[in-house]
Amino acid sequence: MKRYKYALGVSLMIMLCGCANMDSYIEEQVKNASGIYDDENYVNYQSKVASGNVDEDGFYIQKSDEIERTGSIHVTFATNSKLNVQYFEDTNKSIAIDTASCYLNPGDSVYAQVEAGDDVSVYEFSKFNIYAYDADGEKKDATGLTGNIDAGLVVQIPIDYDGTELSIVPVGEYHPKEISLRDYYIDDDKTEHDLGGTWMINENEYTDDSVKISPSSSYIISYKYLMS
């Protein structure tokens, strides 16, 4: 009984395969009769399928390495490890710029969203430096292209701009720190008395009670007191 079932199963599979082959044969004959194989659009479509330019839904896609660079101005973006900067094409900051490969045209703009790093009490954003490069690779200051930073506009490229290379550099600054330079002694009544000594910071004399210094610089601080 099992042998009959097996034979029946094999026969059924052969019949199904035969039906599939027949459908494929009929489809092929219809295509031949329609002349589609000679149609230029069909030939081009099949060529794009073979080259991987058609997705699984049958829509044409363009590979990233085939995308033409329509912009005439190559823009590079320097990084600042203490600032988080994102660049955009529009005022709403909804169209992000690919900073690894950016080409713009005269009349285009660059907008930015800047956030300070981990310690905002020490370091903050200050400005953007804009540089242009000539045909010889020489760097020139191009701050005249700087836009309204308060509105997020970094660069507004003039419509008549004829340069080909721009560089955008975000710049920050350290908050100055205030140090106390008071010199006094406390008597038995816990009263403070100024000593009137002299503070030296990097060989400069200071007599004020405090001074502001930059956290990014090095200082040598000394104190001189002459006993009467």
58 plus 21 within the same structural domain: yes
- Which domain-ending residue is among 159, 174, 189? 174
**Domain that residue 182 falls in:** 177-224
**Global pTM?**
0.54
Higher pLDDT, 24 or 186: 186
- Which domain-ending residue is among 47, 65, 83? 65
Question: Across 26-35, 64-73, 124-133, which has the greatest mean pLDDT?
Answer: 124-133
Quote the pLDDT of residue 44.
Answer: 60
92 plus 117 within the same structural domain: yes
86 plus 168 within the same structural domain: yes
Quote the pLDDT of residue 176.
Answer: 81
Quote the pLDDT of residue 3.
Answer: 45
Average pLDDT for residues 201-215, to the nearest whole number?
80
Average pLDDT for residues 195-203, to the nearest whole number?
82
Label residue 1 by pLDDT band (50, 70, 90): very low
Share of residues in the chain with pLDDT > 70 (%)? 66
150 plus 89 within the same structural domain: yes
Span between the terminal Cα atoms of the chain, in Å: 126
114 plus 162 within the same structural domain: yes
95 plus 165 within the same structural domain: yes
Which contiguous run of DSSP H or E holds residue 104?
A: strand 102-104
Number of neighbours of residue 221 by Cβ within 10 angstroms: 13
149 plus 165 within the same structural domain: yes
Quote the number of domains for the chain. Answer: 3
194 plus 142 within the same structural domain: no
**Six-digit token string for 31:** 């295509």
Look over the chain and give the mean of its residue pLDDT values, rounded to a whole number: 77
Average pLDDT for residues 94-111, to the nearest whole number?
94
193 plus 167 within the same structural domain: no
Quote the pLDDT of residue 221.
Answer: 85
Q: Which amino acid is at 212?
A: K
**Six-digit token string for 94:** 């909804």
187 plus 215 within the same structural domain: yes
Do 113 and 154 form a contact (C-beta atoms < 8 A)? Answer: no
56 plus 137 within the same structural domain: no
